[in-house]
Amino acid sequence: MLSKKLEKALNDQIRIEAESSQVYLSMASWAEVQGLEGVAGFMYGHSDEERLHMLKLVKYVNERGGHAKISTLSAPKTEFGSFQKMFQELYDHEIFVSKSINDLVHICLEEKDYATHNFLQWYVAEQIEEEALARTVLDKINLIGNDKGGLYLFDRDVQLISVES
């Protein structure tokens, strides 16, 4: 059985994962209207992945005798200025999610809930991958700068970078 404190913290994480999915969906849509199909595909995939992160938490909370609550989400922005800025935001967002997962792990230890601690290790490992991926993509796009040819090749290649769930 989850403690009330942990149940609340897990529900907060459910909202964060759902909002992450919305943020990346908005990035996907923006990239698509800018004509970068590869970047859009990458972001659509990432958005789906965040939804799976959310669902995994929903099922866990309910399985442990809690109640996963689906809440209102804050709307993501719809314009991202430039691809550099958008990928910087993606990276910053993943750092924020990692911090939030770390805080959750900390609460598990305080509450002596080792089952949830164990469950969350999947997210800890996932965040290492997601941060590394976001960093790699950000480095590439920063290298390209305003070079149109570079952006064209980046758009083609980014589709090959897999986002695993």
Contacts with ligand OFO by CB under 6 A lie at: 17, 20, 50, 53, 94, 97, 123, 126, 130
Could you tell me the smallest distance in angstroms from the CB atom of residue 67 to ligand OFO?
21
- CB-closest chain residue to ligand OFO: 53
Could you tell me the smallest distance in angstroms from the CB atom of residue 20 to ligand OFO?
5
Burial of 75 (0-12, 13-18, 19+ CB in 10 A): exposed
User: 20 vs 26, which CB is nearer to ligand OFO?
Assistant: 20
User: 20 vs 116, which CB is nearer to ligand OFO?
Assistant: 20
Residue 120 region by backbone torsions, left for phi larger than 0, else alpha for psi between -120 and 50, else beta:
alpha
Could you tell me the smallest distance in angstroms from the CB atom of residue 145 to ligand OFO?
26
Is-contact 40 32, C-beta < 8 A?
yes
Could you tell me the smallest distance in angstroms from the CB atom of residue 42 to ligand OFO?
13
Distances (CA, A) of 11 to 6, 7, 17, 68, 105: 8, 6, 10, 6, 14
Token reading at 91:
């990276």
Is-contact 11 68, C-beta < 8 A?
yes
User: 18 vs 151, which CB is nearer to ligand OFO?
Assistant: 18
Could you tell me the smallest distance in angstroms from the CB atom of residue 72 to ligand OFO?
19
User: 48 vs 111, which CB is nearer to ligand OFO?
Assistant: 48
Burial of 105 (0-12, 13-18, 19+ CB in 10 A): middle
User: 83 vs 123, which CB is nearer to ligand OFO?
Assistant: 123
